[in-house]
């Protein structure tokens, strides 16, 4: 057996995640010596870590544009455009997640330094997920992503709904992890290796242990495990309760980060390790995508609690990304579909974090104030807030001029290209368009409420939240109006087997 050398470990290539994980560990220790009244110091130190990681990521992106993808940690991880793009999305989401929490936590008397350190830990898990090139790393990254989120959902304990959220998320999440591990074990049994590049060799033939049947069963179980993380129907049951019960900044971050992390693994595992069985999983994922879009959008209509509505909306959006995943199984469409998926995740991240920022502004200290009716009259009292919320709702629906519209357009473009000779994808694409129209019904209810109904329209925008709102609103608008530079970046977000 040839052991890896220091060169093949290639610490420089994985510097962004190393900085973040190391800083999370350090900050855990530093936070012990910060007095409870000064926990915002921890927050700013966490932001510092995110910035440092972001700078390293920038250098890594420049290096990538010159030399292409490289392996790291032997062959356990790969730093390619896909990983770098998503890592950028994760860092951005984490930054906004901290801004959203900065005033929210003290207001609700749940401020503890661990919020920020756990946020850094889960972000490092997501970043590792994006670069995982081995099923074991996929599993451990998923755990590192989930474990802090389980704790964060219960951060408002002993508030009962927060405890319920943590309990539900933890139990079902652990169960889903069980499926994932079982799937990895069967894949290992079938392919004789957990390396994604090794699995593809074994399945295509010429590998050391030809038993594709076992690997396909394993693949199905992996799909169940990851489907749970991205909240795809029929593995979505936990989403509404968890999103409603968890503290709102956690919900905001979770809906964006955990979903993108799950899709990072889904895309990489299925496109790199299982391309040979594309006809099998392509069909399954297409059907799941259709179900997810239909259920998410239809059930969201009847929700009166905005957090719950956004939970169903988040299920629905998982469906749109799944359309891109299903389309990506055709090699000629793959680059377009993958960049569509990651671009969609970016647009969804900024839009959804913005929408949740508004929910946080409206939420009262006792956790109420997040019903649709509470938006009434907001346009008169807080016109800018109303404009921003309208923009986010337009973006979630997919109406120009907003990021969501470009994202959806990109996904459907990939799907239409893939649908040549594949009626199933065509049907799913049509379902996607139709459900987008349905979604307008519940998203636009909020602007209607704000502009045409009278009400108190109370909101409380504190400085950090204001910055987060301005950033997300600007990003949502810019991504919708001048998407070209970001699309260009997304086009480089290609999956690579290994460096």
Partner 1 sequence: MKEWTFIAILLIVSAMLPTVPIMGGRLLGPRKPNEQKSSTYECGVETVGDTWVQFKVQYYIFALVFLVFDIELVFLYPWAVAYNRLPLFGVIAGVVFIITLAEALIYAWRKGALEWL
Partner 2 sequence: MPGVILFAILALVAILSAIGMLTSTNAVHAALFLVINLACIAVFFLGLSAPFLAMVQVTVYAGAIMVLFLFVIMLLGAERVPLSSRLRWQAPLAIALVLALLAVTLLVAFSPQVQGNLVNPRPVPPEAQGFGSPQAVGETLFARYLLPFQMVGLLLLVAMIGVVVLTKDERKPTGHISENAQASDRAA
Contacts with partner 2, residue ranges (CB under 8 A): 1, 3-4, 9, 21, 24-25, 28, 36, 72-74, 76-77, 109-110, 112, 114, 117-118, 121, 124, 128, 134, 136-137, 140-141, 143-144, 147-148, 150-151, 154-155, 157-158, 166, 209-214, 217
CB of 26 to partner 1, least distance (A): 9
CB of 205 to partner 2, least distance (A): 11
* List of residues 6+ apart from 55 with CB closer than 8 A: none
Positions 5 through 24 that interact with partner 1 (CB under 8 A): 5-6, 9
Q: How far apart are CA 404 and CA 481, in angstroms?
A: 11
Contact 135, 177 (CB under 8 A): no
Q: Is 25 in the site for partner 1 (CB under 8 A)?
A: yes
When CB distances are held under 5 to 8 angstroms depending on the partner's kind, the choice from partner 1, partner 2, none that residue 326 binds is none
Q: Which helix (H) or strand (E) holds 493?
A: none
Which of 1, 3, 36, 279 contacts partner 1 by CB under 8 A? 3
- Smaller CB separation from partner 1, 5 or 66: 5
Contact 221, 183 (CB under 8 A): yes
Looking at residue 269, the DSSP 8-state letter turns out to be I
When CB distances are held under 5 to 8 angstroms depending on the partner's kind, the choice from partner 2, partner 1, none that residue 6 binds is partner 1
Intra-chain end-to-end CA distance of the chain, in Å:
20
Structural tokens at position 143: 């755990």
Separation in Å, CA 476 to CA 257, 269, 354, 479? 17, 30, 9, 5
CB of 56 to partner 2, least distance (A): 17
- Is residue 487 helix, strand or coil? helix
- Smaller CB separation from partner 1, 117 or 255: 117
Q: How far apart are CA 61 and CA 79, in angstroms?
A: 10
- Smaller CB separation from partner 2, 2 or 66: 2
Looking at residue 333, the DSSP 8-state letter turns out to be T
Which of 28, 197, 305, 381 contacts partner 1 by CB under 8 A? 28
Structural tokens at position 430: 């049509």
CB of 104 to partner 1, least distance (A): 23
Q: How far apart are CA 6 and CA 4, in angstroms?
A: 7
CB of 33 to partner 1, least distance (A): 8
When CB distances are held under 5 to 8 angstroms depending on the partner's kind, the choice from partner 2, partner 1, none that residue 36 binds is partner 2
- Smaller CB separation from partner 2, 193 or 352: 193
CB of 398 to partner 2, least distance (A): 37
When CB distances are held under 5 to 8 angstroms depending on the partner's kind, the choice from partner 1, partner 2, none that residue 32 binds is partner 1
Q: On the CB side of 487, how many CA atoms lie within 13 Å of its CA?
A: 16
- Smaller CB separation from partner 1, 4 or 68: 4
- Smaller CB separation from partner 2, 128 or 286: 128
Separation in Å, CA 483 to CA 334, 344, 405, 487, 498? 21, 12, 10, 6, 29
72 backbone dihedrals φ, ψ, rounded to 5°: -140, 155
When CB distances are held under 5 to 8 angstroms depending on the partner's kind, the choice from partner 2, partner 1, none that residue 201 binds is none
How many chain residues are in contact with partner 1, going by CB under 8 A? 8
Q: How far apart are CA 24 and CA 98, in angstroms?
A: 14
Structural tokens at position 91: 């860092």
Q: How far apart are CA 304 and CA 283, in angstroms?
A: 34
Q: How far apart are CA 366 and CA 62, in angstroms?
A: 47
CB of 155 to partner 2, least distance (A): 7
Q: How far apart are CA 263 and CA 230, in angstroms?
A: 7
Which of 2, 32, 66, 454 contacts partner 1 by CB under 8 A? 32
- Is residue 368 helix, strand or coil? coil
Q: How far apart are CA 223 and CA 229, in angstroms?
A: 10
- Smaller CB separation from partner 1, 29 or 484: 29
* List of residues 6+ apart from 262 with CB closer than 8 A: 142, 226, 229, 230
When CB distances are held under 5 to 8 angstroms depending on the partner's kind, the choice from partner 1, partner 2, none that residue 207 binds is none
Structural tokens at position 305: 């609690």
CB of 32 to partner 1, least distance (A): 5
- Smaller CB separation from partner 2, 114 or 363: 114
When CB distances are held under 5 to 8 angstroms depending on the partner's kind, the choice from partner 1, partner 2, none that residue 74 binds is partner 2
CB of 248 to partner 2, least distance (A): 18
Q: Is 66 in the site for partner 1 (CB under 8 A)?
A: no
Chain residues in the site for partner 1 (CB under 8 A): 3, 5-6, 9, 25, 28-29, 32
């Amino acid at each position: 057996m040839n052991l890896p050398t220091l060169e093949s470990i290639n610490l420089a290539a994985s510097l962004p995640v190393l900085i973040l994980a190391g800083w999370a560990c350090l900050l855990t220790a530093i936070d012990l010596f910060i007095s409870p009244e000064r926990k915002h110091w921890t927050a700013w130190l966490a932001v510092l870590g995110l910035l440092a990681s972001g700078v390293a990521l920038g250098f890594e992106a420049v290096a990538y544009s010159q030399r292409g993808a490289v392996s790291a940690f032997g062959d356990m991880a790969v730093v390619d455009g896909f990983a770098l793009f998503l890592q950028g999305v994760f860092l951005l989401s984490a930054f906004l997640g901290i801004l959203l929490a900065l005033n929210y936590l003290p207001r609700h008397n749940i401020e503890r330094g661990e919020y920020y350190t756990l946020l850094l830990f889960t972000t490092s898990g997501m970043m590792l997920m994006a670069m995982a090139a081995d099923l074991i790393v996929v599993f451990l990254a998923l755990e590192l992503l989930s474990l802090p989120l389980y704790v964060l959902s219960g951060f408002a304990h002993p508030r009962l709904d927060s405890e319920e959220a943590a309990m539900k998320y933890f139990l079902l999440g652990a169960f889903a992890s069980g499926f994932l591990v079982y799937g990895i074990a069967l894949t290992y049994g079938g392919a004789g290796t957990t390396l994604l590049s090794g699995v593809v060799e074994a399945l295509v033939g010429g590998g050391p242990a030809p038993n594709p049947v076992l690997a396909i069963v394993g693949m199905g179980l992996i799909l169940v495990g990851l489907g749970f993380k991205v909240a795809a129907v029929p593995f979505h049951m936990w989403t509404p309760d968890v999103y409603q019960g968890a503290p709102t900044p956690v919900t905001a971050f979770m809906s964006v980060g955990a979903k993108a992390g799950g899709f990072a693994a889904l895309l990489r595992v299925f496109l790199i390790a299982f391309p040979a069985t594309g006809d099998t999983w392509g069909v399954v994922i297409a059907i799941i995508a259709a179900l997810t879009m239909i259920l998410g959008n239809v059930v969201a209509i009847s929700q009166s609690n905005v957090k719950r509505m956004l939970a169903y909306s988040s299920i629905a959006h998982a469906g749109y990304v799944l359309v891109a995943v299903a389309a990506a199984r055709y090699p000629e469409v793959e680059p377009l579909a993958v960049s569509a998926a990651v671009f969609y995740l970016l647009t969804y991240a900024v839009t959804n974090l913005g929408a949740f920022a508004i929910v946080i502004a409206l939420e009262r200290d006792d956790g109420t104030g997040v019903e649709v009716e509470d938006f009434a009259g907001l346009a008169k009292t807080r016109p800018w807030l109303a404009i921003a919320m309208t923009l986010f709702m337009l973006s979630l629906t997919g109406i120009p001029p907003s990021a969501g519209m470009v994202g959806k357009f990109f996904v459907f473009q990939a799907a239409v290209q893939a649908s040549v000779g594949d009626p199933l994808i065509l049907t799913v694409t049509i379902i996607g368009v139709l459900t987008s129209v349905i979604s307008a019904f519940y998203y636009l209810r909020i602007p209607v409420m704000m502009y045409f109904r009278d009400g108190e329209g109370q909101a409380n925008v504190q400085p950090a939240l204001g910055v987060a709102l301005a950033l997300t609103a600007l990003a949502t608008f810019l991504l919708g109006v001048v998407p070209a530079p970001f699309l260009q970046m997304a086009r480089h977000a290609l999956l690579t087997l290994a460096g």
